[in-house]
Copies of this chain bind each other. A is one copy, B any other.
Amino acid sequence: MATIYEVAALAGVSPATVSRVLNGTRVAEDLAGRVRAAAEELDFTPSRTARSLRRRHSELIALVIPDIENPFFTALARGVEDTARAAGYSVVLCNTDEDTDRESTYLRIAAAEQMAGVILAPAGETSDLGSLAGRPVVAVDRSPHGHDIDTVTADSIGAGRAATAALLERGRTRIACITGPAGVDTSEDRAQGWRDAIEAATGRTPDPSLLRHADFRFDGGREEAGRLLRSLPRVDGIVVTNNLMGAGALAAVTAAPGSLSAEGIAIIGDLPYSALVPAGVAIVSLPARELGEEAARLLLARIGGDASPPRRVVLDGVASSLRAPIPG
């Protein structure tokens, strides 16, 4: 790997001039030409490490998410990656497994690596952003409690309302809700949307026993759905507030034939290969990829020096693809 000194020597100029040519400062055309020729000749790629040390930040962005195997975060990561790459940044993937210790370890690493910025889907209610020492951060999907930072989220209340409305339109009257852990804002807000929709339709707050908290995972959704199916009086609709629990609920429904068909289920969040999802399920899409893109755009702006007050962007692209129930 050639260094800037070898390029300088070959071109007969100083290293400073090589740097200037490569970074856009004005340099006489003949020198610049010699430098470019020399760089080409030696197949020179500047050491990003040395550059990062001097510039005090690298061209890396940390993407800290709870679970890379969840298609929601995968799509989000894709949005981040595409946007970052277009701006010349690479993305470091940090899987926290919903563990706040791992999260803060990764935030320390991001600082120690002098990464340009961090996009964080917080694992818990509170995140320790102290170790970042002022480096740009954008929160995505969930907003960390007690920090006034840029945030990009989906309209969870609206999504909850839309999912519930889809079941109400089908004439369902006793609609339960399986949501995530108490205290997590997406979990609470989606349940609030469910409550809102039912109040709007019936004029009464829903029976509190119809609200179930699980852990946002497949098994949790399956188990809670199983319990709801066995409970009396019978429910005729279930709103499930994320994709994994939704898949679990569908598994439960499929395993208990005759109880409640897929048409009684509404899911917030997308399942991969929608072609394989039982027909009739109501799906309220979340703009996962767009969340990632917008978060990356905000972060890139901060990296570029934008010092305006923190923004809270809410994407409401949720009104989308409801799968129609099977005709007849």
Interface residue ranges, A against B (CB under 8 Å): 1, 43, 45-50, 52-53, 58, 60, 63, 68-69, 71, 74-75, 77-78, 81-82, 85, 90-95, 106, 108-109, 111-114, 131, 133, 218, 222, 247-248, 250-251, 254-255, 271-273, 275-278
Min distance, Cβ A287 to any Cβ of chain B, angstroms:
15
A204 to B111: give the CA distance in the assembly, Å: 63
Min distance, Cβ A255 to any Cβ of chain B, angstroms:
8
Min distance, Cβ A33 to any Cβ of chain B, angstroms:
23
Using CB atoms, name the residue of chain B closest to A60: B92
- Cβ contact within 8 Å between B78 and A68: yes
- Cβ contact within 8 Å between B133 and A109: no
- Cβ contact within 8 Å between A90 and B69: no
A219 to B77: give the CA distance in the assembly, Å: 23
Which residues on B sit within 8 Å (CB–CB) of A109? 48, 90
Which residues on B sit within 8 Å (CB–CB) of A60? 92, 113
Which residues on B sit within 8 Å (CB–CB) of A275? 222, 247-248, 250-251, 254-255
- Cβ contact within 8 Å between A114 and B47: yes
- Cβ contact within 8 Å between B112 and A95: no
A69 to B1: give the CA distance in the assembly, Å: 34
If A69-B74, A71-B69, A276-B278 touch, whether A53 touches B49 (CB-CB below 8 Å) is yes
Min distance, Cβ A251 to any Cβ of chain B, angstroms:
3
Can you name 8 extra interface pairs (CB under 8 A) apart from A1-B133, A45-B111, A68-B81? A45-B108, A50-B53, A68-B74, A77-B93, A90-B109, A250-B276, A272-B272, A276-B278
A108 to B43: give the CA distance in the assembly, Å: 11
A58 to B108: give the CA distance in the assembly, Å: 15
Which residues on B sit within 8 Å (CB–CB) of A114? 47-49
A271 to B47: give the CA distance in the assembly, Å: 41
Which residues on B sit within 8 Å (CB–CB) of A218? 273
If A78-B95, A276-B271, A276-B277 touch, whether A58 touches B49 (CB-CB below 8 Å) is yes
Shortest 8 CB-CB contacts between residues of A and residues of B: A251-B275, A93-B93, A247-B273, A48-B112, A49-B53, A49-B52, A48-B113, A45-B112
- Cβ contact within 8 Å between A53 and B45: no
